[in-house]
Amino acid sequence: MSLVTLSDVLQPALHNGYAVAGLVTLGWEDMHAYVAAAEAEDVPIILQAGPSCREHTPLPVLGKMFRHLADGASVPVVAHLDHGYTHEECHIAIDSGFTSVMFDGSRKSLAQNIDETAAIADMAHAAGVSCEGEIGFVGYSGGEGSDGTDPDDAAQFARKTGVDAMAISVGNVHLQQNKEGGLDEIRIRAIEAVTEVPLVIHGGSGVPVAQRSALAHGSKICKFNIGTELRMAFGQALRRAVNTDPERFDRVLILKDTHEPVVDATRRVLKAFKGA
């Protein structure tokens, strides 16, 4: 199955009542496990390179890794830049073979966010690549607070930028380790009433699984980003692998022990979003 764009997987999700998982990668071991889980569940997948991933591995290398996995996968795979903050960063991702870029202008004024996102969407579309934008700021657990998305701003943002997907702030928080919160469904309904653009939830790990599933099948939310939940599964598996044999030092052997636990955790995530 060849690499596909974000629109290639989100438009069918929008029209057929399901969602696709945007899985935040940190290295080869987790992205390899994510693809294996998607194949086991027979669903498309979005591999995402966020800021911390890019600090560890350069974008051109990540592009080749994503494309290599996609070339051998039996399901559609999207190579997605998550939280690109500059025009240059998005340009490098496109040149590196990414099929989707997310420009995050959510800290900027509405006018500036629209102008900069529209320019990046134009650049992406000219290259045959999808573009995701963000309106309203999604905060961080223990850090910056959120600024919820105004439905009127969302309508204007979607219309003027031409984005293929729109990330919104509706009670979701990045890096949340528990699922005690929940999304503001009244605000979600108000936003989806004024746009036909597929909606995206960042910080999906903090959303209760039952609500994830209900919204995946009954709203215009077509993409949930999941990172923290799977990082925790990887970290726990790695800790067990290290502690099982204190004499073992070969990291390749140690890291192999993380594969099945991460595949299992990822499959549980993907099941909540699947279509009929």
How confident is the model over 102-128, as pLDDT tens digits?
999 999 999 999 999 999 999 999 999
Which CATH code is given to the segment(s) 3-271? 3.20.20.70
Q: For residue 208, what are its two tokens?
A: 């209760």
Domain extents in the chain: 3-271
- pLDDT given for residue 141 in this prediction: 66
pLDDT at 182: 83
Q: Give per-residue pLDDT as tens, 181-239.
A: 789 899 999 999 999 999 999 988 889 899 999 999 999 999 999 999 999 999 999 99
Selecting among 30, 82, 104, 164, the annotated active-site residue is 82
Mean pLDDT computed over every residue of the chain: 93
**Residue pLDDT, tens place only, 55-92:** 999 999 999 999 999 999 999 999 999 999 999 999 99
pLDDT for the residue 24: 96
User: Is pLDDT above 80 for 276?
Assistant: no
Confidence of residue 146 (pLDDT cuts 50, 70, 90): low
Q: What is the spatial distance between Cα 198 and Cα 153, in angstroms, rounded to a whole number? A: 16
Q: Residue 145 has what DSSP assignment?
A: P
In whole angstroms, give the CA distance from residue 272 to residue 276: 11
- What is the Cα 28 distance to its own chain's centre? 17
Q: How confident is the model at residue 145, as a pLDDT?
A: 63
Closest CA to 179 of 142, 214, 205: 205
DSSP 166-201: EEE-SS--BT--S------HHHHHHHHTT--SPEEE
Bridge partners of residue 223, in order along the sequence = 20, 200
DSSP string, 9-30: HHHHHHHHT--EEEEEE-SHHH
The confidence band for 165, taking pLDDT boundaries of 50, 70 and 90, is: very high
147 is catalytic: no
Quick one: DSSP state of residue 106?
T
Q: How far apart are CA 145 and CA 263, in angstroms?
A: 32
* pLDDT at residue 211, as a whole number: 92
pTM of the model: 0.95
User: What gap in Å lies between CA 86 and CA 105, rounded to an integer?
Assistant: 9
* 258 phi/psi in degrees, rounded to 5: -90, -15
